[in-house]
Structure 1
Amino acid sequence: MWTPMNPVIPSWLNQRIWLIGASSGIGAELAKQALGAGAHVALSARRLPQLEKIAQSQSKAHVLAFDASEQTAWPAAYAAACAAMGGVDLVVFCAADYRPERSWEVTPAGAAQTLAINLGAVYSGLASILPNMLAQGSGGIALVASVAGYMGLPNATVYGPSKAALINLAEILYSDLHPKGLSVYLINPGFVKTELTAKNAFTMPALQTSEQAATAIWGGISAGQFEIHFPRRFTQVLKLLQLLPYRLRFALFHRFLKLS
């Protein structure tokens, strides 16, 4: 009952990690910490200069720029990551798009872009990655979702549903893949100071740095956890709110968030 849901990883030395969305924020810090721990890391995102800066003077860093929202780009990108590192042990889907917006502010183009990056890219990646991982009977998939996926939070009109879908998908993947020897990790950060959250015009409770977030993520994966959520003083409150009746939950939102 209390054993880890995934195998424990005692050391990151020479582990082969592919980070999708590694050019900034949590993804960039995950790359820096993994490289510092001796892992081989393939760095992927659209912004090549940022990736090259992170990889500078790092012999185990492999820059692989591509657009994750382009379905047809995935097979070649995965092949390149495998060629660079001799295979891939863990894929971390960290690419994300976010814009704070109320329901009447959503545009079809904006919604399509957010969903393509946050959700569509994951399905495209899985289609390329899973056949090989299943054949070898080992490997790990980590999805970076968000506490915005726990419930309908204001201003997360498209972002929230995309992250809720990732939470659901991670649960399905674990049920499907764990019996076949693969590990699955669901990562639900609270507010983290990044380029994306800089768009928020409200005070973000329990705001953490990217360094704190990356440390929590690698710690959770190392320990074999399925869901990695942080900071717990914030995420546990949201988990309790999930248990409230809708009438009470909505009343609390309007009272404390001053919605209109």
Structure 2
Amino acid sequence: MSDLPWRLAWITGAGTGIGRATALALAERGCDVLVSGRRYEPLNEVVQTAVESGLEGRIRPLVLDVTRPGAYRQALDTIEREWTLPDLVILNAGTHHAMTLDEFSVKPCRDLMEVNYFAVMSGLEVLVPAMRRRGRGQIACTASLAGYRGLPTAAAYGASKAALINACEALQVELQGTGVRLQVINPGFVKTPLTDRNRFEMPQLISAEEAARALLKGLTSNRFEIRFPRLFALFMASLKLLPDNLYFRLIKRGTGFE
């Protein structure tokens, strides 16, 4: 039996990275987990890892393209028919595309907003009413510390995550007292297939397993925002307090864009 407050969890973007590691961490502690992603093969690999490791919780794959209209409604209908409405949902699917000033184009901005923001809103549109009808539930949305302030090459990515943070804050205000809890997850640099694309040294880079442990700790806390790693998160938070001119000078120097 799980020592966690959830019997069934659902994680999108669970084939790799933080989603995969969190699914395994939940199953290790006895929680059943539905793992979603666009491709079946990575999801099945997560299932096989759980079986081979003898984890107490069961992991089941559910292929899902979060950007397809109606996909969340169809997926949730399947989940409720075959299992039940999940106690915990982690909307973790997301993508990244670095864009320098010379490469600036509206297309990456639209593409990243579609996955990192609008797809999450589509999930919330379906999940929040269902959990409100039941009178309880927990949803966590993966944003990023990059959403705190504008960073070089992240005009598209950071903006999509900033929009998500803002939306979650707005919704949580109204969700108070409904029995449904919304949290935002703001990771720093976590070693995943996405961050493997980065061409710069990533400060305080942590493993997906370390991120999953921090995430589970945050999910069982009373905090709205779950952020990690701790020192890098504090540093990023401090940047929000700087006057704009000082911030721009420091970031330009610190990131080598002088």
Q: TM-score, normalised by structure 1?
A: 0.92
Match of 1:235 among 233, 254, 257: 233
Rounded Cα–Cα distance in structure 2 between residues aligned with 1:24 and 1:106: 28
Cα distance in structure 1, aligned partners of 2:105 and 2:239: 29
Specify the alignment match of 2:19 in structure 1. 27
Q: What's 1:40 paired with?
A: 32
Query: In structure 1, what residue type is equivalent to 2:244?
Result: Y
Give the CA deviation at 1:13: 6.7
How far apart in 2 are the matches of 1:238 and 1:68? 29
> Alignment RMSD, CA only?
1.6
Deviations 1:96-151 (A, max 9, x none): 11011124414444332211111111111112112111111100110111000000
What amino acid is the match of 2:3?
A: S
Paired residues of 2:139 and 2:182 also in contact (CA < 8 A): yes
> 2:88: which partner in 1?
90
Structure 1 pair 221–13 and aligned structure 2 pair: CA distance change class (3 A): closer
- Looking at structure 2, the residues matched to 244 and 108 of structure 1 have their Cα atoms a distance apart, in angstroms, of 29
Q: What is the CA distance between 1:78 and its match in structure 2?
A: 1.0
Written as runs of structure 1 = structure 2, the 5 A alignment for 1:105-124 is 105-124=103-122
Aligned length in residues: 251
Corresponding residue for residue 151 of structure 1: 149
Query: 1:16 is matched with which residue?
Result: 8
* Residue from 148, 173, 176 that aligns with 2:174: 176
Report the Cα distance in structure 2 between the residues aligned to 1:13 and 1:132, rounded to whole angstroms. Answer: 19
Higher relative contact order (CA 8 A, sep 6+): 1
Q: Secondary structure at the match of 1:101?
A: coil
Q: Tell whether the 8 Å contact from 1:40 to 1:85 is kept in structure 2 after alignment.
A: no
Q: For residue 38 of structure 2, what is the amino acid of its counterpart?
A: R
For structure 2, the residue ranges without an aligned partner over 5 or more in a row are: none
Task: Give unpaired runs (5+ residues) of structure 1.
Answer: 1-9
Question: Is this contact kept in 2: 1:81–1:87, CA < 8 A?
Answer: yes
Match of 1:136 in 2: 134
Residue pair 2:128, 2:180 contacting (<8 A) in 1 also: no
Check whether the contact 2:99–2:153 (CA below 8 A) recurs between aligned residues.
Answer: yes
C-alpha separation between the residues in 2 aligned to 1:245 and 1:203? Answer: 26
What residue number does 2:205 align with? 207
- 1:52 is matched with 44
Structure 2 match to 1:161: 159
Structure 1 residues 157-207: Cα deviation after superposition (integer angstroms, max 9, x where no partner) = 111001001111111121111221111111111110111111111111000
